[in-house]
Amino acid sequence: MTLSSRDFPTDQHGWSELLPTRQQRQSIQGRVRARWVVIGAGLTGLACSRRLAELHPNDEILLLDARLVGQGASGRNSGFAVGVSHFPGIFKAHEKVNFARVNRINQAGLSILDQQINILAIDCQWDTSGFHHGAADIASVKEQKYFMDYLNAMEIEHSSLDQQAMQSRFGTTLYKAGVHVRPGALVQPATLVRGLADGLPRNVRLIENCPVLKVQSGNTIKLQLANGEITADNLVMATNYEAPKLGFLRRRLLGSTLSGSFTRILTAYELASLGSHKSWGIISLHGGGATLRLTQDGRICLRNTAEYSGAALLSPLELKSRQTMHRSSFEKRFPQLAHVPFEYAWSGVEGMSGNGMNFFGQQAKNIYLAGGYNGSGVSRGTAFGQTLADYASGGQSGLITDCLSSDRATWLPPRPFLDIGAMLKISARFRGVGLDR
């Protein structure tokens, strides 16, 4: 099946909306031959392209994106670069080796990002002091104990916080308990990906607004574009939840649509009501709870919806409807800021697998893929991208072994059973969420 540009819709919302308008700088037409092509200029594709350029300095690396950089999932998340994954429920000692493996990948991604942000001097509100996990209701307070058991067993740097400490830091009485985890970072994600894109090596050619409409595999790989065709020796798929559109990971990967809102920039008086921390992030210990940020430029960002809509962004009318839930969650946490309006709203799609596993490795002859980050794409996607370049170039390393060791994702049923199952899975995420939403 051949796609069209309409199969890759976008809008101007998200963190990119807070930035100057990005201008497309290159296009591609006619027939082109390339040794390496990377599809997807999000965090995975950017990391992969940079590493390929280093490994193959005499080759041009083509990096294609269906949208402008920052309009995809890498610019539509809450800006948490996870260093330590949260595995819900009672700590499972027999899984300790696997937990350590996942966290090694996360922290490799953090290290790569930290290095690139410093080398390229990207002003993206990068904060490596970690972030917080909060508990507001009975289920999440119980989960805090399990999480602490896990952190202790894994010897991960953290500190436990009671209700008074949470109020002192964040200016809200809603959270009964919390945990600060040191390995982790906060970021303005659209600024990050734009900075990484603008600082790519000279032998990477970035083409934006260039959707790939069909991939033909075989002895040679052919990519059909709207105005041309690329013949590639090697192809890297860094398209996350959109891989099935191009014939990869069908019935293995789906997209959950999230939404959130930004306030206007708060006044000094309003900021003073938010406790001692001047910028912060809170992830709920309940899987369906709200995610919050106080950004370095003084906005609160709140995300508290997730739903299945076929991996589509929300329409303006749908987004307006979801804002009533954002508003309720915001005022529940910060009644002293009930007068503060939302200035922007956004939706984005999270790539998910049925059992929470990721994808990494070779899909067909000279075709490689990484994706399915289940909410940890900033750090893990970066690590997977760089490591996939090493793997596709014949390298060997402990990180390659770690990335290849994920369990295979479970098979997903065909539609309409897929739609029903996905809706049930995502709705189950909110079971017992209570005050944490």
Burial string for 368-404 (b: 16+ CB within 10 Å, else e) reads bbbbbbbbbbbbbbbbbbbbbbbbbeeeeeebbebbe
Domain for residue 382, yes or no? yes
Give the pLDDT score at 252: 83
Asked if the structure places residue 86 within a domain, the reply is no
My answer on whether 59 and 202 are in the same domain is yes
- How high is the pLDDT of residue 230? 97
pTM for this prediction: 0.96
* Pair 67, 19 in one domain: yes
| Shared-domain flag, residues 167 and 308 | yes
By the 10 Å C-beta count (0-12 exposed, 13-18 middle, 19+ buried), 5 is classed as middle
Convert the pLDDT of each residue in 183-229 to its tens digit.
Answer: 999 999 999 999 999 999 999 999 999 999 999 998 889 999 999 99
Please say if the pLDDT value at position 428 is more than 80: no
Domain that holds residue 11: 5-75+191-250+357-406
Quick check: is 56 in a domain? yes
Backbone angles phi and psi of 143, in degrees to 5: -65, -30
CA 128 to chain CA mean position, Å: 17
Could you give the number of structural domains in the chain?
A: 2
**Residue 404, CA distances (Å) to 29, 82, 139, 253 in order:** 36, 20, 34, 17
Average pLDDT estimate for 121-147: 97
Residue 97: per-residue pLDDT: 97
Question: Is 109 within a domain?
Answer: no
pLDDT at 1: 66
Say yes or no: 174 and 198 in one domain.
Answer: no
Tell me, yes or no, whether 153 and 263 share the same domain. yes
Rounded mean pLDDT, 277-299: 96
CATH number at residue 364: 3.50.50.60
Quote the mean pLDDT of the chain.
94
In a domain, 84, yes or no: no
- Mark whether 164 and 235 lie in a shared domain: no
Q: Give the pLDDT score at 113.
A: 98
pLDDT recorded at residue 356: 79
Q: Find out whether 391 and 361 touch, Cβ atoms under 8 Å.
A: yes
> CA angle at residue 380 from 280 to 93, to 5 degrees?
90
| Cα 62 from Cα 70, distance rounded (Å) | 18
335 and 262 assigned to the same domain: yes
Is residue 296 located within the same domain as residue 376? no
Residue 37 lies in a domain: yes
Q: What span, in angstroms and rounded, lies between the C-alpha atoms of 363 and 358?
A: 14
In a shared domain, residues 200 and 303? no
Question: Is the pLDDT at 313 greater than 90, yes or no?
Answer: yes
Residue type, 231: T
Mean pLDDT of 1-24: 90
Q: Are residues 151 and 262 in the same domain?
A: yes
Same domain? For 12 and 64 the reply is yes
Mean pLDDT of all residues in 95-110: 97
CATH number at residue 312: 3.30.9.10
Residues 45 and 58 in one domain: yes
Centre a 10 Å sphere on the Cβ of residue 23 and count the other Cβ atoms it contains.
7
Q: Which of 212, 166, 189, 202 is nearest to 76 (CA)?
A: 189
Is pLDDT at 49 greater than 70 in this prediction?
A: yes
Judge whether residue 5 has pLDDT over 70: yes
Is the Cβ–Cβ distance between 426 and 310 less than 8 Å? no
Q: Is residue 148 part of a domain?
A: yes
**Average pLDDT score over residue span 83-104:** 96
- The answer to whether 74 and 381 have CB atoms below 8 angstroms apart is yes
In a domain, 31, yes or no: yes
**The token pair that represents 298 in the structure block:** 């003084």
pLDDT band for position 106 (cuts 50, 70, 90): very high
